[in-house]
Structure 1
Amino acid sequence: MSASSYRFGRFRLDPRSRELWADGELVGMPPKSFDCLAYLIEHRDRAVGRDELISAVWGSADVADHSLAQTLLRARQVLGDTGAERTMIRTVPRFGHRWVAATEEVAAVPATVAVVAAAAAAAAAAERPAENPPRADAGADAAPMPPRTPRGYRWLAAAALLLALALAGGYLWQARAPAPASVADAAELFVVLPVRLADAQVESAWVRLGAMDYIATLLRQNAKRHVLPSEQVVSVVGTAGRAEASDDGQLGRLRAVTGAGWIVSPRASASAQGWRFTLDVYHGDGLRSYEGAGATPLEASRAAAIALMDALGVPDAAAPQSPLPVDELLQRIDAALLVGDLAQARGLVDGAPPALRGDPRLRVRAGQIAVRQGRPDEAESLFRPLASDDASIALQVRALAYLGLGTVTVGRLDFGGAEAAYDKVIALLKDSDEIRLLGRAYMGRGVVHASRNEFGAAMADFGRARVDLQRAGDRIGTANLEINVGMAEINRGRIEQGIAALDRAIPILSGFGVRDQLVISLHNKTYAQLGLLDVGGALATSQRAMELSAQLANQVFGRRVAAARARALFAAGRLRETGELIRRFDPQPDDPSQSDTEFSILRAALLGERGDYAALDAQGDALLARVARSADATGQGMLSEASWMVVDAALRRGRIERAAQVLQGLKSAPPAPEDLDRRWIEKLAEARLLAARRQPGAEAAFDAALALVEERGAPSALVVAATGWLPVLLESGELERAAALGGRLVPYADRDYHAAQAMAQLYRTLGRQELAAEAQARLRLLAGERAPDSDAQAAR
């Protein structure tokens, strides 16, 4: 891509920083859509052929026309270029596409520093006269950098949260019917829509979703067809069947979102003689209808489904049995669960006739309801008797019970218990057709492995889960898998690959309208972008997550998303907004029962950024005690971050023994797999202490810290470590080593305030005033509300 930026209309596109701005605000766009847009703009003097565009963006010719069309459609949607007259991206029939909007090319902002400049600085250091060493009290020229919050991202706690959603959420009960054992072509996927009732009969409202799911189950179980899970249908069309399949626009949307080749739209009416069902089936360009009648909704829907199966050539032997009273009760419960009405679902369970209360299918649903209502002990008591090798209990029910136990134990951070539960599901289902449940078990076990940093085993399980979930047509389950894959990739230092996995999940979840998982995806992407020092991207992603989380009832989501947003604002230097957001979502900081650990960390980070090390030092013990008391994985993963800030503040105030005490507390703390930065932070703090005491071994400790940071693969961590060492090198007169270390900061000085500050300090010390002025200019652009030119800032 060119180093130039492009202006067109109200937009500005910067290919180098991969940013698109509209009216001065950063806007998001899927990565492939951005790449297509940038390529078309860069070659706007001509039409770009389809094959050329695919080769340039995907690096392969094996990309379907549909994928390219969808990618360009998303770009057009962001740009508002969706009218009949395309004013930006024009299709050239039977060839490709061309960029047609009036565009101005603008030279990109020059880099503050370059590798060549770092080499020049090293040469200058070698040539500097020995009689002019840097002063020991050189102030801005030798003072340590302001503290950085070491962790630019936090994802493990969200992984546990996601697992609870994926395994105990709105589609757990849907998997009771076996899926086809072979991989189905997307064109053979069936979607069964909510039933359209002729009369708005309140007493029959459950039929819309209950009979819909019953028909889907019959097609899946008896006809062995590939059927989209019912809760995913509800995510797309709503609960009342508001998306009419007879509407060509809605029909096209359904096919685009689900990939289905068969759309089944049921209609039902009731009379004194009973119920009548009609299944309108859309396939290709055709429409055929199949009818059935019966005394109850399930009997009538079964008759209509048999008529459809006859047309599909399903053998008579596969015809479903007549529904029993318990079948209607189960469908009523499932209909309530599909719309999230847990109170009604629980009422149906509690009000079941005595003869049905012992039915394992009813009891496993009761356990799932208890999980969703936040009653894990009750859920476990319901799951335990069903999680067995008792062959008299249906295989699906036993597998669901073990999956439920996995959810409960993950919620308690009992990863050993969770692994045992998922192992049982895999053993039970490995030779069955229950591939959807099997895929979810592999996904759950993969999360357990990732939680222990066993990434090889995690990726193996995730790979198997992907195959099974895709075979089952479970697109939302596949999206959830991509989120977990993304977090595992990030945790093992492959942040770009992690973001790519999250970006694969986000369009699916957005298309299906699954807001909770979508919020989790955006939340974790925000932290990953901060880890890459992509502050602009983190601001855009966190803003979208905030807007979506406001529509959710779960307040835990809101606080987590607000914390991520606060970190993005903090990284951008928008300190006032950071403080306001903290006060809004954590209004009682002095009450540990009400306050949130991450907001406490952010309050401490604000003190450090403003140079109030005395207050940070004074509050250090309370902060560390609060982190130590934290009951969840998010809090437990912050001990090294909190300890680093307190050590840094103590050293800046000359309280060396205080810093040593805090470091010793960190080293003696219980192991915490979720605290992924502990090893390098311990080593960096140790190096700072050795340097402060002027003891040997500081350089080796700094080297070891940098090596550990390289393993983590996060530029944000590298900046923390390098800016912690650079002032020590400058103060000791090791200018050649300082210049070499500065070279490692060069790639980040254009986008990170503290990296730019370090480079400005380095160049001033080396006497490279032109480079120092350039770095200082960039520093001002990155400062936000920080004051890079003030005496107070320089004194730090």
Structure 2
Amino acid sequence: MALVRGGHDGNVTGSRRAKFTPAAFVFFCKAACAGFACRYALRMSNFAYRFGDCVIDPATRVLRRAGRIVSLPPNAFDCIAYLIEHRDRAVGRDELIAAVWGKADVDDAQLAHVVRKARRAIGDNGTEQSAIHTLPRFGFRWAREVELRSVAAGEVPPAAPAFTAPAAEAKAALPWQRIRRPGVWVPLCVSAILLVVGYLWHGHRTEPAVQDVDSALSATKAGDAIAVLPVDTGTITGSEWAWLRLGLMDLISTRLRDAGLVVVTSSNVVALLRDKSSSASAMDELRSATGARYLIAPSLAKSSSGWVARLSWGENGQFTNEVEAHAKDAPSAAIAVTERVLDQLDRRRKRGAGSPTDLPATELFQRAEAAALVGDFSQARRLLTSAPSELRDSPELLLNLARVELRGGDFESASQRFAELEKRISAENDPALRARALIGLGTAKFRLRHFDEVEPLMTEALVLLTADDASTDVGEAFLRRGSVHLFRSRIAEAAADFSRARIAFELAGDSLALARVDFNMGVLQDALGRTASSLPLYERAARQFDRFGAMPDLVIATSNQITTHLDLMQPAEALRVVGLAGTRFEKLDAPHLRHLFKWQHARALLGNGRVTEARVLLDELVGGIDPQTEAVALSRARAVQAQMALDADAHESAAALALDVVRGPPGSVDETTRTLTWLIATRALRALGRNSEAAEESRQFRAWAGSTAKVFGDETFERLAQLGEAEQARAEKKYAQAVRLYEDVLAWSIRSAPPARMAEVAGSYLDFLLDQGNIERATAIAGQLGPWAESDFRCAQLRARLYRALGQTDAWQTALVQVRRLAGERPVPTSVAAAL
């Protein structure tokens, strides 16, 4: 586990597949067969159910509410019927899926969508849950009283019931429990066989096939992507028209995207062309970075009667087609000329009228978007807040204003505005706008680290949207929810969401967002213990961030590359990454990012033995951090200072620094830093002879680590606390207990931890074994560290110490040369360097 590593801030319950077991298979088949039998028998029955003002007739598959027929999807009808039939008990999520869909690969978003439709059809909702009650982490239960009525064939059930039956009695009278017709079981058996085949096919895939997704995306994107260039405004001058260049570019892009085309997002185009002309090389860079096959070059001019808009377009940078349109205003001209391109492409899906329906609002929003695209969020905010009174309180303006504040980094204000918008907009009136408000609110909460609030917001948004829509909104919702899953160590759910985010961003033409997916997939690989596999993903993401000039993203990707190299015990490579970044991040108007990189720079210097430079950097860092706003960054810097003090045998200073970090209030220290620093504290206390204090700290450490491991689903915390316990048992001469603990945590480190963590465990155990004279076991453990003895100072020391203990003079002397070469300013311990 890295000292610090996290999902991207830049961002559903995914498909949840159970592990295939015989018991699960039997259960699933039973539920599916029950569902098929239920539907067949319902059609054959002469019974209808009444609850409240609703009557549901299974035979005719008709639901009436207040005497009127309610139209609803078949699976929503089956959901209601199945829950009513089993109203005497709770119905598990998997059982309901099997009964209604008859297949296993149905995710929580699909189920929630159907349950929501079922509730809406019967006048229920997710807040009151008067009929369909959600049981968290299990499933659902029917909660309303039901009246059962016998109905003659073809007869509409009367409003008043003939009799009321208790749930248990009514269930006993249901006809499908008395089915004797052999023909019923033929389709049931065939369906069960098909279900088995499908379930086996899905069930054996325990991990997501990311490479398969990549291949599919390449096929989807090929020949379809379009990039719209900034509008050439020619001789049109004056500040009042400055917005046309980017505002109309975004308007044209949006119109093309609404017609179902894959269009590179405007922010991507602006980022790539920010400092470049419209030269052929710039166009080549744009196509290379985004994968766009077609380029559209808009231009705008004034005429005696209004405005003339032209679009030149073609493949591979060759503008072989041109269309133009005239209108009284610039936005209408841009829309009209875009419609002509769509006519040539014969793309009419989702198209609306040929001109904006609300011209003042369209122009205002595009003016604000033009400012936001170049990072002038203050101007965008001024435009929106000074809107005419008839627009100022519209939901669309509030959404645009909240998004500007979110993009500008004012997460608190954005959160408040999105929350206000979410309260005003119902799913019934405008589901798409509500979904965007929910996604914005969830994104702001994510940035504020209110992770528990993010998942339900994104899940509801995905229910309202179409999950396979070519929309950055869909991609953002999946990415954010996947990041929360990853934070909670729900690996399968995170992988599913990231894959879906990748598809949505690919279809939406957002290459920069795809780089963020790559980054998060790298973090996921780390969570799976595949540290080496994460590095190419971080590097690929960093290249794209650099290409787009996305400096905040690039800092985070670079930071994770440094951590990964240190985890792989490649300190020289970590310092190389620092060198490639140079001084680029020093001018960032984001202190927390500057401080993050400086902290990583200090760690890379330490890994290479450049202690003096690292100390200077850390002193500058600690002195420049505001403890009120960057408490986590301050604790990380002090943790490294504590380790440096311990390495230099400054035990008093090490203990004081480490305990100050460990005892920091919640929110001031990340869990990984607290874990590693607690180890430093107990080691320093024992070196000072304060064994009773060390024992108490070790006990508190283990208790905290156990509860933290349960919260995050990550045993690293508990295992490192176990290492501290082993070291404490050794100090108390409880050697048998120490061996048992060491062996247990060593087995975990070999199985699941990155090399640096394994070296931490193996080094401590090796010291103990050599002190005990157990050369045979020490030799076996030292061999585990052999691959890194040429690049890592600690591993080189352990190898040299083992050769010394074995009395292998020549081998020891050769190993000692390597130790000194890697030491830098670090002292070589006497136990390693003392003459034989």
**TM-score (ref. length: structure 2):** 0.70
SS at match of 1:293: strand
Q: Deviations over 1:178-207 (max 9, x none)?
A: xxx997443221100111221342211111
1:154 equivalent in alignment to 2:193? no
Q: Give the direction of change, closer, same or farther, for the CA distance of 1:279–1:182 in structure 2 (3 Å limit).
A: same
The worse-fitting range, judged by mean Cα deviation, of 288-297 and 679-688 is: 288-297
1:475 equivalent in alignment to 2:325? no
Name the structure 1 match of 2:222: 186
CA distance in 2, matches of 1:221, 1:593: 42
Q: What one-letter code is carried by the residue in structure 2 that aligns with 1:683?
A: Q
Q: Which of 213, 235, 242 is equivalent to 1:205?
A: 242
Q: 1:590 offset after TM fit, Å? A: 11
Name the structure 2 match of 1:654: 689
Name the structure 2 match of 1:270: 302
Q: 1:503 offset after TM fit, Å? A: 2.7
CA distance in 2, matches of 1:417, 1:683: 33
Name the structure 1 match of 2:382: 347
Q: How does 1:247-326 map to 2 (within 5 A)?
A: 247-270=279-302, 273-284=305-316, 285-315=318-348, 318=351, 320-323=353-356, 324-326=359-361
Name the structure 2 match of 1:606: 644
Name the structure 1 match of 2:563: 527
CA distance in 2, matches of 1:585, 1:485: 30
CA distance in 2, matches of 1:256, 1:183: 16
Q: 1:794 offset after TM fit, Å? A: 6.3
CA contact under 8 A between 2:698 and 2:728: conserved in structure 1? Answer: no
Q: How does 1:551-630 map to 2 (within 5 A)?
A: 551-587=587-623, 596-625=634-663, 628-629=664-665
SS at match of 1:280: strand
Name the structure 1 match of 2:478: 442
Q: Deviations over 1:233-253 (max 9, x none)?
A: 1111128xx431xx3333322
Name the structure 1 match of 2:730: 691
**TM-score (ref. length: structure 1):** 0.73
CA distance in 1, matches of 2:263, 2:825: 54
Name the structure 1 match of 2:262: 226
Name the structure 1 match of 2:30: none
Q: Which of 475, 480, 487 is equivalent to 1:451?
A: 487
Q: How does 1:101-116 map to 2 (within 5 A)?
A: none
1:735 equivalent in alignment to 2:775? yes
Q: How does 1:724-763 map to 2 (within 5 A)?
A: 724-763=764-803
CA distance in 1, matches of 2:630, 2:559: 22
Q: 1:519 offset after TM fit, Å? A: 2.0
SS at match of 1:352: coil
Q: What one-letter code is carried by the residue in structure 2 that aligns with 1:202?
A: S
CA contact under 8 A between 1:526 and 1:564: conserved in structure 2? Answer: yes
CA distance in 1, matches of 2:546, 2:625: 35
The worse-fitting range, judged by mean Cα deviation, of 292-301 and 316-325 is: 316-325
CA contact under 8 A between 1:509 and 1:515: conserved in structure 2? Answer: yes
Q: 1:295 offset after TM fit, Å? A: 2.5
Q: Give the direction of change, closer, same or farther, for the CA distance of 1:290–1:689 in structure 2 (3 Å limit).
A: same
Q: 1:592 offset after TM fit, Å? A: 7.0
CA contact under 8 A between 1:533 and 1:748: conserved in structure 2? Answer: yes
CA contact under 8 A between 2:248 and 2:334: conserved in structure 1? Answer: yes
CA distance in 1, matches of 2:788, 2:643: 21
The worse-fitting range, judged by mean Cα deviation, of 184-193 and 601-610 is: 184-193
Q: Deviations over 1:751-796 (max 9, x none)?
A: 110111111111111111111111101101111111327799869x
Q: Which runs of 5+ in 2 are unaligned?
A: 12-216
Q: Which of 364, 383, 388 is equivalent to 2:399?
A: 364
Q: What one-letter code is carried by the residue in structure 2 that aligns with 1:613?
A: H
SS at match of 2:790: coil
Q: Which of 796, 814, 832 is equivalent to 1:774?
A: 814
SS at match of 1:155: coil
Q: Give the direction of change, closer, same or farther, for the CA distance of 1:471–1:651 in structure 2 (3 Å limit).
A: same
CA distance in 1, matches of 2:459, 2:627: 42
CA contact under 8 A between 2:531 and 2:568: conserved in structure 1? Answer: yes
Q: 1:376 offset after TM fit, Å? A: 3.7
Q: Deviations over 1:691-746 (max 9, x none)?
A: 11111311000011112323433100111111111111111111111111111111
Q: Give the direction of change, closer, same or farther, for the CA distance of 1:657–1:294 in structure 2 (3 Å limit).
A: same
Q: Give the direction of change, closer, same or farther, for the CA distance of 1:302–1:492 in structure 2 (3 Å limit).
A: same
CA contact under 8 A between 1:402 and 1:422: conserved in structure 2? Answer: yes
- How many residue pairs get aligned? The number is 618
CA contact under 8 A between 1:232 and 1:512: conserved in structure 2? Answer: yes
Q: 1:582 offset after TM fit, Å? A: 1.2
Q: What one-letter code is carried by the residue in structure 2 that aligns with 1:204?
A: W
Q: What one-letter code is carried by the residue in structure 2 that aligns with 1:342?
A: F
Q: 1:392 offset after TM fit, Å? A: 6.1
Q: What one-letter code is carried by the residue in structure 2 that aligns with 1:548?
A: R
1:243 equivalent in alignment to 2:277? yes
Q: 1:747 offset after TM fit, Å? A: 1.4
CA contact under 8 A between 1:690 and 1:698: conserved in structure 2? Answer: yes
Q: 1:428 offset after TM fit, Å? A: 1.2
Q: Deviations over 1:76-113 (max 9, x none)?
A: xxxxxxxxxxxxxxxxxxxxxxxxxxxxxxxxxxxxxx
CA contact under 8 A between 2:3 and 2:673: conserved in structure 1? Answer: no
Identical pairs, percent = 28
CA contact under 8 A between 2:8 and 2:519: conserved in structure 1? Answer: no
CA distance in 1, matches of 2:431, 2:627: 48
Q: What one-letter code is carried by the residue in structure 1 that aligns with 2:9?
A: L
Name the structure 1 match of 2:366: 331
Q: 1:432 offset after TM fit, Å? A: 6.6
Q: Which structure has the larger Rg?
A: 2
Name the structure 1 match of 2:112: none
Q: Deviations over 1:534-585 (max 9, x none)?
A: 1122112233345332242211111111111111111111111111211222
Q: 1:641 offset after TM fit, Å? A: 1.0
CA distance in 2, matches of 1:545, 1:417: 35
Name the structure 1 match of 2:721: 682
CA contact under 8 A between 1:530 and 1:716: conserved in structure 2? Answer: yes
Q: 1:610 offset after TM fit, Å? A: 1.7
SS at match of 1:700: helix
CA contact under 8 A between 1:306 and 1:319: conserved in structure 2? Answer: no
CA distance in 1, matches of 2:444, 2:289: 32
SS at match of 2:728: helix
Q: Give the direction of change, closer, same or farther, for the CA distance of 1:517–1:618 in structure 2 (3 Å limit).
A: closer
SS at match of 2:426: coil
The worse-fitting range, judged by mean Cα deviation, of 654-663 and 611-620 is: 611-620
CA distance in 1, matches of 2:834, 2:402: 61
CA contact under 8 A between 1:380 and 1:405: conserved in structure 2? Answer: yes
CA distance in 1, matches of 2:624, 2:467: 54
1:715 equivalent in alignment to 2:715? no
Higher relative contact order (CA 8 A, sep 6+): 1
CA contact under 8 A between 1:679 and 1:708: conserved in structure 2? Answer: no
SS at match of 1:196: coil
SS at match of 1:194: coil
Name the structure 1 match of 2:805: 765
Q: How does 1:417-436 map to 2 (within 5 A)?
A: 417-430=453-466, 433-436=469-472
